[in-house]
Amino acid sequence: MKRELKNDLLLRAAQCLPVERVPVWLMRQAGRSDPAYRQIRRELNLPLERLFRTCPAPMSFSDVEWAVKISLLPKRIGVDAIIVYKDILTPLAPMGAHFRFAPGPVLSTPIRTRTQVEALQPLDDAPSQLAFTGHVIRNLRETLDSELPLIGFAGAPLTLAFFLIAGESPLQRGTGLSEKATPVFQMMAEAPALLHQLLNQLTEMTIHYLNYQISQGVQIIQLFESIADVLSRQLYETFAAPYHQQIFSQIVSHVPRILFAKECPYLDLMHQSGADVLSVGKCVNLAKAKAETNGTVAFQGNVDNDILRDSTLAEITAAVHACLKQGGKTGHILNLSHGLHRDTPFENVKHFINVAKTLAGG
C-alpha cells in the first residue's frame, strides 16, 4: 500500500496548494560545503566518477550505499526534501561519453563532428544502463520511509551539449563561461543543424532518464539549464526552450516538474516550458513574477547564493525575510539563486535553514 508522506510541503507548494509554511531545500545541498561530506570523500578516496557513475566500471553495492549516505546528509539540518546525489553528466556514460573528474569533469575526446554525434548510443534500456541510479533511488526511498520527498533531476540538453562540445566544464569560477565554450557558439553560428541533431539525441535520452527516475521512486524532478545566464533571448528561444517543452510534455507520470534556468531573465519563455515550478535567479523579482503569471505556476528561489557564502548571519536572515516577503506563502519553495558555493561556511547553511523554517510560516 502506498504510504503518505509525513512532510509533503514541497509537493504541495509545487502545485500551488496551501501549506503551513514555505518549504526549503538547497541546490548542491548534498556535498561541497558540508564538512561531513568532505570527511567521507577523504575516507573513501574514490574518484567522483565512481560515486557519480560517469565511468563504465562495474557497479559496486558499497558505492550505492555511499551515494545514499551522502544524499541523506542534509536531512540532519532540517531540509524539506532530499535530492539524489549524482551529477548531470551521469546519463552521458551509457551514451559513450565517459567523463572523469580531475578534479573537474573531463571528456577525453570532445564531441564536435557529425560522425561523433551519430556515434552516441541511445538510452534505450535504462534499467540496465542506469542500474546504479535505480538502486540509489530505491534505497533512498526505503531509508527515508516516507519522511521526506525525493527529488530527481537531469541536465537540460543544451547544458549537456556545452559539456560534450567543450570536453570539460564550460563554466569558470565566478560568473560566465570559459574559453572552452567557444566551439559551442561556433557550432550555433556555423552548424546549427548539427547542434540540433545533438540536442534531439540528448532530449530523447533525458526523457527516458527522467521517466526512469520517476519509475524508481522520485516524487518531483528538476531540469537544470545551468548555462542560461550566458544566452541571448534568441539563443535561448532557439536552442533551449523547445527542448524544455518537449521534455516536460513527455513525462509519463504526473509528478511536479521544476525548471531551473540559471539567472534567466526570459520569464515568459520559462513559463512556456510546461514546468509546474520555475526556479529563478536573483535577477527576478518574485512578487512581480508571481503577479505576471497569475498563480498559474509556482516559484523556487531565490536568495543570492553569494550572500549565503559572504555575509553575516544577520544579513542572511534579512535576505531570507525579503525573499519570503516577495514569494509569499503559497506557490513558493525557498531555495538559492543557484547552487551552494563550495566555500560557503556550513554554519551559514544551517542558519539559512533554521531561519527559513522560523520565518516561513508567516
Which CATH number does the domain housing residue 89 bear? 3.20.20.210
Q: What is the pLDDT of residue 1?
A: 41
Which is more confidently placed, 46 or 54? Answer: 46
Beta bridge partners of 155: 224
Express as a percent the part of the chain with pLDDT over 90.
81
For the chain, what is the domain count? 1
pLDDT tens digits along 282-310: 999 999 999 999 999 999 999 999 999 99
Q: Taking 50 as the threshold, does the pLDDT of residue 271 lie above it?
A: yes
What pLDDT score was predicted for residue 130?
92
Is the residue at 358 inside a domain?
no
Q: Which of 32-36, 54-58, 232-236, 314-318 has the lowest mean pLDDT?
A: 54-58
Beta 257-261 vs 220-225: how paired, if at all? parallel
Expressed as residue numbers, the domain containing 270 is 23-300
**Confidence category of residue 2, pLDDT binned at 50, 70, 90:** low
353, 79 contact by CB (below 8 A): yes
With respect to residue 346, please indicate whether it lies within any of the assigned structural domains. no
Query: What's phi and psi for 73, nearest 5 deg?
Result: -55, -45
Q: State whether residue 336 is helix, strand or coil.
A: strand
Q: Flag whether pLDDT at 103 surpasses 50.
A: yes
Share of the chain above pLDDT 70, in %: 95
**pLDDT value at residue 362:** 52
Query: What pLDDT shows up at residue 51?
Result: 74
Average pLDDT over the chain, rounded to whole?
Answer: 92
What is the predicted pLDDT for the residue at 270? Answer: 98
Q: What are phi and psi of 43, to 5 degrees?
A: -70, -40
Among the listed residues 221, 214, 232, 198, the one whose alpha carbon sits nearest the alpha carbon of residue 273: 221
Question: Are the beta carbons of 167 and 181 closer than 8 angstroms?
Answer: no
241 lies in some domain: yes
Dist CA 89 CA 93 (whole Å) = 7
Confirm if 316 and 308 have CB atoms less than 8 A apart.
yes
Strands annotated E in the chain: 82-83, 100-101, 105-106, 150-155, 220-225, 257-261, 277-279, 298-300, 332-333
Sign of the torsion formed by the C-alpha atoms of 35, 36, 37 and 38: positive
User: Cβ distance 124 to 91 under 8 Å?
Assistant: no
In a domain, 191, yes or no: yes
Which residue shows C-alpha cell 560557503? Answer: 344
Q: Is 338 a member of any domain? A: no
pTM of the full structure? 0.94
Average pLDDT over residues 224-242: 97
**Residue among 249, 262, 258 nearest 278 (CA):** 258
Which whole number is the average pLDDT over 155-183?
84
152 vs 81, 82, 115, 138, CA distance in Å? 11, 9, 32, 12
Query: Is residue 353 domain-resident?
Result: no
The pLDDT tens digits for 126-158 are 999 999 999 999 999 999 999 999 999 999 999
Residue, of 234 and 64, whose pLDDT is higher: 234
Count of Cβ atoms closer than 10 Å to residue 202 Cβ: 28
| Residue 356 included in any domain | no
The C-alpha cell 544524499 sits at 71
**What is the rounded (10 degree) CA torsion for 175, 260, 96, 192?**
-80
Does the pLDDT value for residue 50 go beyond 70?
A: yes
How many helices (H) and strands (E) the chain has is answered by 17, 9
CB 35 within 8 A of CB 346: yes
Using CA atoms, how far apart are residues 51 and 70, in angstroms rounded to an integer? 10
Amino acid identity at 91: P
User: Domain for residue 207, yes or no?
Assistant: yes
CA 221/CA 89 separation, integer angstroms:
16
